């Protein structure tokens, strides 16, 4: 039996087990999202909806060139327009105070990206100047009136050419080179397969484009209202760009309209704040969709060369790889993405000899940055394609070759780090393998079947082939390579309700709902309010890599347990027993012997209790010069089976079904987990078949939601959850693992494997184009 304070005990009842009219309660229940109703009603507050008295509007002038020298900037015409209140360029930015950090410690990698271009532009769409005016149309007209004389330079757009190209930045063209050396370099397998793979530029394409409001403060500081996913990091970066102390900048988090990657960047934040400070009035800025594509980072395009060695039984002997990531014009998190790509270059498989060289380089392409599974998605596509090649050459079933090499708890990774968390890779494969397959059209000839190409497609049904493919992948959770992960939370209880103060931004992952469930489980209080996040609260860090479930959830749990102790201690003293002999369940406090039974609301009457706590997972270390080290806190795994129909004459592909088995540690909210998996699968299908932010000569050619193709309801397949394996990670908060990133990592590889099975063609790039799936 679990102890009263053990949150790893039995789960809460499911919705089907609840009494009529009862709402799901506590951890393990499928409690509805706290923000579901206001979003459904259209009253959820986003930054684009904000207003202030005396509001001005901001607009940005962006470079039309991917690489150019700025000869001169003439702002006279813009300033002469009626209604224009300010025009700023790089010359108007204050110097950074001596000793002030250029980027927050928990920020987005290197701070090599200027707020506004100074002297040179390094990518198409880079901000050059900004305007504040009393109407948005006036602001845009004024920005267009700024005359900039450019001297175009030859753009470096091929990452392979970046090594020998002239430096594009004072920091050089190489963001990072990471060699990984493990085992015997002379080892050779009986069977060798090679492959060259390419992954395109996927954009996060948030439903809501970047927007924000800046309000000047009487003390000379500024208050920013943004859909930030890292309020303290963004505050510190903004303060550094403005030359202010961090305590003079306050960042208030508004609703986040989509964030599977970083959102408003430092340039947006500092420019908006400086316009407000310069005019002394509130300034609002909303980007157009084209500007949104130009401004935020996207997934790293990648070129991957692999050579796999195996014995006659299909066991891996050696893996050799060269991985090249195109980081674009600025560093962002390229070093972090490269670490994941190199460390997970073999995937969830055991291989005694691994030799990898990985590079992230600077080009004049749009900057790449953080996006679900950065680094891991690119390598997953490559190593899973290699496994399919090995299986075909050896005549082994694709599932069987994966089983024979499956990683398990205790096995070493190529980095030398032992896998200490649960690694149920074989069980995940078994779960997807035994799940029923979707019916074929011949099995139900009376039904109307959606064929590749959509309704009314021009293809011949006789040309349609069905393919089944499998893939397994892995991602790390939390920060890596020595990054300090910490979060702080306060829980306050008054009467019959509780308040959680923790600036862990709910960017769609459901943290607000989870925090509510934690407090319900620990304190037995049904009414739990989650305070809006802002930078005046203690830091919780960025919303990325599943960290808030672990770190911020852990902080909320610890604070709630401290309040619980405050509540139970006087009751236990009155009855002459220890606190450990009291439990809270179903809104009641009971003793171990059943003598005491008291409603929690009665015990809380007239009391106000509160506590603040932190959670900091165990430390990690940087990878050394051979790519060795304990760099990751924990790892999550996922297996998928993709079923596709391919018109082999047109090359059209329809994903019929995706079957998922996932290592979740513990299902804290089963319905929410299923929702996150379905969303991640849709994103993975997008990069597999549709999504590619294309450039020509460094210029974006499809920066719109008509040119950049996102999956629609007809493109998104049925998602079957074969298993949520709850093998709890003993060092993780509640034993739970992150769930959103790893399905997005695995889905593209599974779809590619299925297309390969349907066509018999090698599939070596993402997205898969019609010519890649056309036979004959």
Give the pLDDT confidence of 723-770 residue by residue, as tens digits: 999 999 988 988 999 898 999 999 999 999 999 999 999 999 999 999
Q: Determine the pLDDT at residue 407.
A: 97
CB 361 within 8 A of CB 300: no
Q: Which helix (H) or strand (E) holds 137?
A: helix 136-145
Report residue 264's pLDDT band, with 50, 70 and 90 as the boundaries: low
3-class SS of residue 293: helix
Q: How far is CA 103 from the centre of its chain?
A: 20
pLDDT of residue 108: 41
Average pLDDT value over all residues in the chain: 90
pLDDT at 446: 62
Q: Give the DSSP letter string of 39-104.
A: HHHT---BGGG---TT-EEEEEEE-SSSSEEEEEEE-HHHHHSTTEEEEEEGGGSPPPPTT--SS-
CB atoms within 10 A of CB 115: 25
Asked if 134 and 70 touch (Cβ cutoff 8 Å), the reply is: no
| 461 vs 147: which has the higher pLDDT | 147
- Checking if the pLDDT of 709 tops 70, the result is yes
pLDDT tens string 485-505: 899 999 999 888 899 999 988
Question: Which residues does residue 614 pair with via DSSP β-bridges, in sequence order?
Answer: 488
219-261 pLDDT, tens digit per residue, is 999 999 999 889 999 999 999 999 999 999 999 999 888 777 6
**Distance (Å, whole) CA 208 – CA 255:** 10
User: What's the confidence (pLDDT) of residue 267?
Assistant: 87
User: Taking 80 as the threshold, does the pLDDT of residue 59 lie above it?
Assistant: yes
Q: Which of 576, 569, 515, 523 is nearest to 540 (CA)?
A: 515
Q: Is the pLDDT of residue 106 over 60?
A: no
CA distance 726 to 731: 14
pLDDT at 104 over 50: no
- d(CA 71, CA 260) in angstroms, rounded, equals 38
Write down the pLDDT at residue 445: 63
Sign of CA dihedral 452, 455, 459, 461: positive
Q: Percent of the chain beyond pLDDT 70? A: 92
pLDDT at 103: 41
What pLDDT, on a 0 to 100 scale, did the predictor assign at position 444?
66
Structure confidence at residue 23 as a pLDDT band (50, 70, 90): low
- For 606: left if phi > 0, alpha if psi spans -120 to 50, otherwise beta; the answer is left
- Please name the residues in contact with 19: beta carbons below 8 A apart, sequence gap of 6 or more: none
- Look at residue 100 in the predicted model and tell me its pLDDT: 44
Q: Say which residue the tokens 């999504």 belong to.
A: 691
Q: What pLDDT shows up at residue 98? A: 52
Of 440-444, 542-546, 608-612, 677-681, the least confident: 440-444
As a whole number of angstroms, the distance between CA 147 and CA 78 comes to 9
Please compute the mean of the pLDDT values over residues 590-606 and round it to a whole number: 86
Where does residue 415 rank: exposed (0-12), middle (13-18), buried (19+ CB within 10 A)? Answer: buried
Q: Residues in the chain, how many?
A: 776
Residue 497: strand, helix, or coil? strand
Q: How many CB atoms lie within 10 A of CB 45?
A: 12
Half-sphere exposure of 323 (CA within 13 A, CB side): 38
Mean pLDDT is lowest, of 297-301, 539-543, 642-646, for 539-543
* pLDDT score at 96: 53
pLDDT at 3 over 50: no
**Lowest model confidence (mean pLDDT) among 42-51, 391-400, 628-637:** 42-51
Q: Which of 76-85, 398-407, 543-552, 647-656 is the least confident region?
A: 543-552
Q: With the C-alpha atoms ordered 739, 631, 170, 270, is the resulting torsion angle positive or negative?
A: positive
Distance, in Å, from the CA atom of 547 to the CA atom of 665, rounded to the nearest integer, reads 14
Helix/strand/coil for 272: helix
Cα 128–134–137 angle (5° rounding)? 65
Q: How confident is the model over 473-482, as a mean pLDDT?
A: 92
At residue 19, does pLDDT exceed 90? Answer: no
Residue 596 and residue 582 in contact, taking contact as beta carbons nearer than 8 Å: yes
Question: Of 162-166, 235-239, 272-276, 546-550, which gets the smallest average pLDDT?
Answer: 546-550
Buried b (16+ CB within 10 A) or exposed e, 300-330: bbbbbebbbbbeeebbbbbbbbbbbbbbbbb
CA distance 61 to 144: 7
Q: 418-471: per-residue pLDDT in tens?
A: 999 999 999 999 999 999 999 887 666 666 677 787 666 667 888 899 999 999
Contact 144, 313 (CB under 8 A): no
Helix or strand run (H / E) with residue 529: strand 527-530
The answer on pLDDT for 14 being more than 50 is no
The DSSP bridge partners found for residue 133 are 57, 84
Under the banding of pLDDT at 50, 70 and 90, the label for residue 603 is confident
Q: Is the pLDDT of residue 15 over 90?
A: no
pLDDT, residue 575, reads 84
Answer for the pair 25, 526: CB distance below 8 angstroms, yes or no: yes
CA distance 92 to 122: 20
Give the end-to-end CA distance of the chain in Å, rounded to a whole number.
Answer: 64
Helix (H, G, I), strand (E, B) or coil at 747: helix
CA dihedral 19, 21, 27, 31 (to 10 degrees): 140
541/470: higher pLDDT: 470
Report pLDDT for 11: 41
Q: What pLDDT sits at residue 601?
A: 87
Burial readout 501-512 (b: 16 or more C-beta within 10 A, e: otherwise): bbbbbbbbbbbb
Position 8 pLDDT exceeds 70: no
pLDDT at 99 over 50: no
Instruction: For residue 204, give both structure tokens.
Output: 């996060």
Give the span between the Cα atoms of 767 and 192, in whole angstroms.
Answer: 26
The 3-state secondary structure of 153-222, one letter per residue: CCCCCCCCCCCCCCCCCCCCCEEEEEEEEECCCCCCCCEEEEEEEEECCCCCCCCCCCEEEEEECCCCCE
Rounded to whole angstroms, the Cα distance separating 39 from 34 reads: 10
- Supply the pLDDT for residue 495: 81
Mean pLDDT of 108-122: 82
Token pair, residue 174, equals 């190489």
Whole-number pLDDT of residue 105 = 36
């Amino acid at each position: 039996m679990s102890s009263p304070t053990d949150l790893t005990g039995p789960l809460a009842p499911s919705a089907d087990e609840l009494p009529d009219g009862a709402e799901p309660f506590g951890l393990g229940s499928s409690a509805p999202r706290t923000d579901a109703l206001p979003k459904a009603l259209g009253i959820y507050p986003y930054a684009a909806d904000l207003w202030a008295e005396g509001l001005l509007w901001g607009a940005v002038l962006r470079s039309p060139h991917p690489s150019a020298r700025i000869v001169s900037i003439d702002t006279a015409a813009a300033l002469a327009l009626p209604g224009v209140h300010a025009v700023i360029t790089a010359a108007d930015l204050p110097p950074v105070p001596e000793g002030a950090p250029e980027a927050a410690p928990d920020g987005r990698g290197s701070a090599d990206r200027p707020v506004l271009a100074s002297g040179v532009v390094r990518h198409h769409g880079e901000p050059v100047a900004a305007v504040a005016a009393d109407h948005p149309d006036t602001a845009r007209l004024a920005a267009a009136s700024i005359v900039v004389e450019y001297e175009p330079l030859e753009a470096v757009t091929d990452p392979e050419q970046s090594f020998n190209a002239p430096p594009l930045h004072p920091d050089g063209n190489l963001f990072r080179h990471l060699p990984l050396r493990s085992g015997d370099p002379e080892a050779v397998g009986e069977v060798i397969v090679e492959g060259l793979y390419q992954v395109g530029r996927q954009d996060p394409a948030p439903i809501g484009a970047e927007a924000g409001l800046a309000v000047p403060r009487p003390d000379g500081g500024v208050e920013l209202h943004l859909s930030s996913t890292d309020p303290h990091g963004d505050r510190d970066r903004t303060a550094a760009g403005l030359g202010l102390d961090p305590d003079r900048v306050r960042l208030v988090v508004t609703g986040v309209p989509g964030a599977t990657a970083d959102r408003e960047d430092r340039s947006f934040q500092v420019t908006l704040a400086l316009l407000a400070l310069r005019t002394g009035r509130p300034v609002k800025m909303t980007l157009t969709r084209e500007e949104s594509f130009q401004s935020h980072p996207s997934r790293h395009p990648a070129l991957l060369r692999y050579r796999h060695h195996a014995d006659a039984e299909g066991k891996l002997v050696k893996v050799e790889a060269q991985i090249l990531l195109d980081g674009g014009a600025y560093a962002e998190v390229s070093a972090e993405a490269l670490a994941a790509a190199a460390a997970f270059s073999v995937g969830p498989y055991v291989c005694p000899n691994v030799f990898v060289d990985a590079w992230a380089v600077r080009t004049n392409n749009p900057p790449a940055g953080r996006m679900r599974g950065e680094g891991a998605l690119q390598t997953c596509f490559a190593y899973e394609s290699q496994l399919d090649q090995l299986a075909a050459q050896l005549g082994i079933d694709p599932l069987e070759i994966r089983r024979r090499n499956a990683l398990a708890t205790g096995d070493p990774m190529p980095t030398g780090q032992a896998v200490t968390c649960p690694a149920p890779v074989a069980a995940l494969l078994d779960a997807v393998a035994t799940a029923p397959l979707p019916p074929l059209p011949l099995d139900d000839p009376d039904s109307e079947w959606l064929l590749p190409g959509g309704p009314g497609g021009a293809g011949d049904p006789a040309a349609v082939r069905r393919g089944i493919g499998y893939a397994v992948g892995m991602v790390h959770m939390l920060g890596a390579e020595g990054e300090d992960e910490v979060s702080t939370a306060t829980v306050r209880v008054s009467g019959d309700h509780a308040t959680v103060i923790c600036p862990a931004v709910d960017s769609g992952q459901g943290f607000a709902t989870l925090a509510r469930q934690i407090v319900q489980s620990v304190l037995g209080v049904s009414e739990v309010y989650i305070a809006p996040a802002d930078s005046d609260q203690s830091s919780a860090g960025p919303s990325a890599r599943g960290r808030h479930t672990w770190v911020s959830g852990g902080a909320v749990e610890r604070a709630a347990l401290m309040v619980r102790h405050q509540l139970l201690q006087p009751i236990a003293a009155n009855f002459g027993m220890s606190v450990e002999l009291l439990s809270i369940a179903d809104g009641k406090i009971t003793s171990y012997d059943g003598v005491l039974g008291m409603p929690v609301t009665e015990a809380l009457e007239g009391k106000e209790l509160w506590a603040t706590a932190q959670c900091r997972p165990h430390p990690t270390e940087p990878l050394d010069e051979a790519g060795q080290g304990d760099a990751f806190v924990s790892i999550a795994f996922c297996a998928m089976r993709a079923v596709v129909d391919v018109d082999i004459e047109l090359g059209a592909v329809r994903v019929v079904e995706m079957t998922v088995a996932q290592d979740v540690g513990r299902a804290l909210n089963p319905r929410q987990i299923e929702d996150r998996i379905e969303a991640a699968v849709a994103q993975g299908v997008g990069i597999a078949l549709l999504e590619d932010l294309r450039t020509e000569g460094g210029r974006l050619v499809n920066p719109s939601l008509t040119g950049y193709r996102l999956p629609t309801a007809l493109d998104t397949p049925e998602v079957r959850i074969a298993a949520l394996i709850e093998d709890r990670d003993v060092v993780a908060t509640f034993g739970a693992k992150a769930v959103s990133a790893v399905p997005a990592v695995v889905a593209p590889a599974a779809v590619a494997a299925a297309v390969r099975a349907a066509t018999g063609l090698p599939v070596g790039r993402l997205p898969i184009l019609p010519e890649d799936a056309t036979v004959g």
